[in-house]
Amino acid sequence: MTSFDKTGTIPPTGSEARGDHAHDHSHDHSHDHSHDHGHDHGHDHGRAQARAAAAACCATPASAPAVALAASTGTRLVVHIADMDCPAEENMIRSGLKRVPQVRELGFDLMQRVLTVEHAEGARDIVLQALRGLGFQPRMADEVPTAAAPARQGLVRIVAAVALALGAEISHWLAAPEWLVIVLSLGAILSGGVQVYKKGWIALRNGQLNINALMSIAVTGAVLLAQWPEAAMVMSLFSLAEWIEARSLDRARNAVDSLLKLVPDDVLASADGRGWRRLPASQVQAGWSVRVAPGERFGLDGQVVEGLSAVNQAPITGESAPVDKGPGDEVFAGTINGMGELVYRVSAAHDDTLLARITRSVQEAQANKAPIQRFVDQFSRVYTPLVVMAAVLMAVALPLVWGVSWLDAVYRALVLLVIACPCALVISTPVAVVSALASTARAGILVKGGVYLERARQLRYLAVDKTGTLTLGQPALDVYGSLREGVTDEQVLDLAVALAERSDHPASQAIARGRHASGLAGLEQFEAVAGHGVQARGLNGALRLGKRSWVLEGADRAFLSQAEQQALESGASMVYLGDDKGLLAWFAVLDTLRPTTAQAIAALQRQGVQVEILSGDHEQAVRHVAAQAGIADYRAGLLPQDKLERIEQRLGQGLVAMVGDGINDAPALARADVGIAMGALGSDIAIETADVALMDDDLGKIALLMRQSQALHRVLWQNISLALGIKAVFLVMALSGQATMWMAVFADVGASLLVVLNSLRLLRARH
């Protein structure tokens, strides 16, 4: 389990803190592990490597992941496999390694082409040999090649194959010698199809019917039927379309890695604060100092030690306004410095910055599949064998029943085989999900999986904590007043600040914040009395700041003034100042509403969401905040188990979400259908338990999350309808003999391209 600090992060694949989710509408963590040689287990969050299927089959090798891979150990192997970019390859590896007794568990990250194998001690070479026997080339992280050269080489071969196939077609039309047509066709098939045949043979050997196996059978059948030009054109067009599809899918893959491109490659750093050198950000260690000039991006996370400036944190939190930063304030990699120079002390290495962890979290979020995605995976496992059986039946039945020639029947069956590949259907969901996840991350919403993003559109009941969620979570002095004639409000404030500056109590800090004592009150013999307040001796005797009953001890009781009554009714915490003669003044400390709260609640209510406050605070405070926020339903004085019980009461009445920031919110966050944590101020356990984190603590992002979920749902069903509709049309055409093999290639790969391009629209969502 990766431990994240409370500055607004999320663990990569969920949280061990989530506990038991066995209720009927539980969080469906579908990490697809092969445990005990292939059995799936869904709640092993600590070791889960996310499954992502947003890559085209037969894509060209990609560069290494932008975020460093997890390290291999004595019993864990982490490798990059360039050809593992499609569920077909995953199934092949899963079935192949299932036969290796030393393998205990598998984790697939198809988006980054990373395989994690938990194995017995000393079995690494056996696992690597098994992978190579399946036709894959596993590489360690530092051995991964860049993508540019292989991509260019692949394109040259494909262009040559298409040119030769066109030459074969033209020669056939012009009635050229048969040997010329055969030579050109063979050249096209070998130029564009060697890898296809290689992968197809390995798939068939392992009992897999993926697109490579189906295409190899179809092209071979066309050759045996002496359809040389068509066999050449089918193979070359398939290879070209797959190359284009892979380039399109790289946009979805790179949408996540592009987050890290916000970070500069090098920074001006110093190990001792004196000798400044420009170094790669990856070489700078925690504890070093980094200087960032006006207008530059921060290369690492850290804490400001010198300078004042306004920092644009939009790349991390989605905040539209710059945030003032000074000594002691945290800064994050990828954010943009304003007009002042800053020096900050590095707090995290390059691969452990908040931005890197956000990137890793989005990459791994595919482990929690959306319900539609799981349905598509199950459907495709049944669909392909059925269509293959239909093709075989067609080849046999058409000649025997309808009198179609054997050659024509076999040809139609081969066309049906090409159409049978479910690639367009399989990639229709994960590409859309990862695009939506990347888009929401750029908006400052971190979602742990597609299941939660797809669910959010169904939100009907939202429970919200008060302190730190609806309010800023930081008490502030609201109003105050003198209670003794001849003593002004300014004088009592000076005395109170002089006492409060030496106290660490939140109410005292609220009084002292933003103002310094003027020096009129020279105090000595300062003492903090636990549970009561602080006291000291001044020029005119003893002074006390704290609870009313304690301050009034030994003095006459006083009635509450009208102003005090109003402050109490508004939910303020009261602090009193007194001396040997009695009360001097009262101070009302109030946790103020976030500026965006009322607008955010109104937006949710317009979308049909019932909002209720669940707070442990006293009745008056909760009532006052509820009135300010425009929330009619609220419950006060709740313990953590009370919040949990209220969530359980609402389950089954539409989607239930809980928003919180504290440890006391963790049980309710875990039990809700979707748990949402305040990412900036939230406690570690709240953030780890939740399914979604709002990086800038803006409740308005929940309505945005719902809109993004609705957009994702529309695109998912558009993709599924498109993929199945195109295949249905060509299945009918194949049965009636109206479809040719090259048309089937366009139907299959064209459908894949269409669903990919449709999914990429989610990357351009406006926030």
The tally of CA atoms less than 13 A away on the side-chain side of residue 387 is: 28
Kindly give, in sequence order, each residue whose CB lies less than 8 Å from that of residue 678, ignoring residues fewer than 6 positions away.
Answer: 468, 469, 659, 660, 661, 686, 693, 694, 697
pLDDT (tens digit, 9 = 90+) per residue, 720-755? Answer: 888 888 888 887 887 788 877 777 777 777 787 888
Q: What single string gives the DSSP state of each residue in 340-404?
A: S-EEEEE-S-GGGSHHHHHHHHHHHGGGS--HHHHHHHHHHHHHHHHHHHHHHHHHHHIIIII--
Kindly give, in sequence order, each residue whose CB lies less than 8 Å from that of residue 489, ignoring residues fewer than 6 positions away.
Answer: 480, 481, 482, 585
d(CA 560, CA 569): 12
User: One of 32, 109, 352, 465 is an active-site residue; which one?
Assistant: 465
Give bridge partners of residue 270 from the DSSP assignment. 289
CB-based burial of residue 339 (10 Å sphere; 0-12 exposed, 13-18 middle, 19+ buried)?
exposed
Q: Is the pLDDT of residue 449 over 70?
A: yes
pLDDT attached to residue 46: 31
pLDDT attached to residue 144: 52
d(CA 227, CA 181): 10
Q: What is the mean pLDDT of residues 674-695?
A: 72
Q: Residue 589: phi, psi to the nearest 5?
A: -105, 125
H/E/C letters for each residue in 601-624? HHHHHHCCCEEEEECCCCHHHHHH
- Asked if 465 is an active-site residue, the reply is yes
pLDDT (tens digit, 9 = 90+) per residue, 149-182? Answer: 455 557 788 888 889 988 998 998 898 898 999 9
Q: How far is CA 318 from the centre of its chain?
A: 15
> What stretches of 258-343 show up as alpha helix (H) in DSSP?
314-317
pLDDT attached to residue 278: 93
pLDDT (tens digit, 9 = 90+) per residue, 631-663? Answer: 999 998 887 788 889 999 999 888 999 998 766
pLDDT attached to residue 43: 33
d(CA 162, CA 392): 30
Q: Where are the beta strands (DSSP E) in 13-150?
A: 76-81, 103-109, 114-119, 138-139
Q: Is the pLDDT of residue 515 over 70?
A: no
Q: What is the mean pLDDT of residues 480-507?
A: 82
Q: Which carries the bigger pLDDT value, residue 504 or residue 326?
A: 326
Lowest mean pLDDT across 439-453, 621-635, 690-704, 734-748: 734-748
**pTM, full prediction:** 0.62
Q: How far is CA 294 from CA 188, 272, 329, 333, 343, in A?
A: 57, 22, 17, 15, 11
pLDDT attached to residue 13: 31
d(CA 268, CA 250): 32
